[in-house]
């Protein structure tokens, strides 16, 4: 007898919780095209595996709603690129060559990334097109990026950080990436959500106003 729901729906739930944050079974069911009970069944199976957890929350009047979110184990399904090796290399460079050498490596990575990004962005003339192209590049690199139009510009959202372990060990990588965005887009870019400060994602406000 076949199962009523495929494994792909479970993966889609993990993806939705990763990219959209905490959601109810009702909303997940609507996104998947299944009933609320069907979504809840999938969530309970994922909960049994330790990938999701739930919490009751009061929103306005009425009964509390059950919101589902990823656990640490669930987040780990979206891998950090070679985190053990990366941390070992960072530690080795810092200990053997000092902080100045680490900064030099970050600068070199920044120059190389900037060159690659500019090659992709140079074919676009509008800021909108450039921001969407940058999001596409970052998605290819594992950041699960997307763009939202907001008042005064755009919001570049990165739902995953594939170098999170490296960034935690050396936040110079995060500073460097912000510099890259500013130089690529030629406009003011401000980080408004930061994974390393407890947010579920990193997000950047891209201003329509060009850098002075």
pLDDT at 142: 86
pLDDT at 172: 76
pLDDT at 92: 57
Same domain, 102 and 175: yes
Which residues form the domain of 54?
7-75
Same domain, 137 and 115: yes
Same domain, 112 and 63: no
Task: Show the low-confidence residues of the chain (pLDDT under 50).
Answer: 1-6, 82, 85, 211-212
Instruction: For residue 146, give the nearest of 7, 15, 10, 8 by alpha carbon.
Output: 15
pLDDT at 155: 97
Same domain, 59 and 104: no
Same domain, 184 and 103: yes
Q: Return the HEC string of the chain.
A: CCCCCCHHHHHHHHHHHHHHCCEEHHHHHHHHCCCHHHHHHHHHHHHHCCCEEEEEECCCCCCCEEEEEECHHHHCCCCCCCHHHHHHHHHHHHHHHCHHHHHHHHHHHHHHHHHHHHHHHCCCCCHHHHHHHHHHHHHHCCCCEEEEEECCEEEEEECCCCCHHHHHHCCHHHHHHHHHHHHHHCEEEEEEECHHHCCCCEEEEEEEEECC
Same domain, 206 and 180: yes
Report how many domains make up the chain: 2
Same domain, 123 and 151: yes
Same domain, 23 and 123: no
Last residue of a domain, one of 75, 99, 126: 75
Flag whether 95 is in a domain. yes
Name the one residue in this structure whose structure tokens are 């920044």.
Answer: 110
Same domain, 105 and 22: no
CATH number for the domain including 64? 1.10.10.10
Our CA dihedral for 207, 209, 211, 212, rounded to 10 degrees, sits at -150
pLDDT at 154: 97
pLDDT at 57: 84
Same domain, 17 and 59: yes
Flag whether 106 is in a domain. yes
Same domain, 45 and 99: no
Flag whether 49 is in a domain. yes
pLDDT at 2: 37
Flag whether 2 is in a domain. no
Flag whether 1 is in a domain. no
pTM, two decimals, is 0.69
Flag whether 139 is in a domain. yes
Same domain, 96 and 185: yes
């Amino acid at each position: 007898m076949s199962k009523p729901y495929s494994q792909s729906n479970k993966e889609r739930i993990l993806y939705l919780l990763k990219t959209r944050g905490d959601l109810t079974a009702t909303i997940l069911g609507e996104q998947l095209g299944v009933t609320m009970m069907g979504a809840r069944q999938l969530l309970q199976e994922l909960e049994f595996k330790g990938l999701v957890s739930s919490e009751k929350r009061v929103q306005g009047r009425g009964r509390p709603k059950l919101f589902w979110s990823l656990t640490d184990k669930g987040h780990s399904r979206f891998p950090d690129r070679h985190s053990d090796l990366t941390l070992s290399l960072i530690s080795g460079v810092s200990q053997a060559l000092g902080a100045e050498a680490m900064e030099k490596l970050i600068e070199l990575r920044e120059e190389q990334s900037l060159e690659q990004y500019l090659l992709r962005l140079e074919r676009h003339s509008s800021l909108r097109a450039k921001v969407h192209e940058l999001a596409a590049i970052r998605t290819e690199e594992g950041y699960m990026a997307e763009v939202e139009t907001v008042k005064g510009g755009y919001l570049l959202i990165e739902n995953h950080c594939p170098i999170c372990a490296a960034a935690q060990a050396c936040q110079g990588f995060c500073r460097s990436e912000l510099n890259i965005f500013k130089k690529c887009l030629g406009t003011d870019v401000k980080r408004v959500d930061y994974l390393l400060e407890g947010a579920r994602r990193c997000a950047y406000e891209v201003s329509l106003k060009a850098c002075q």
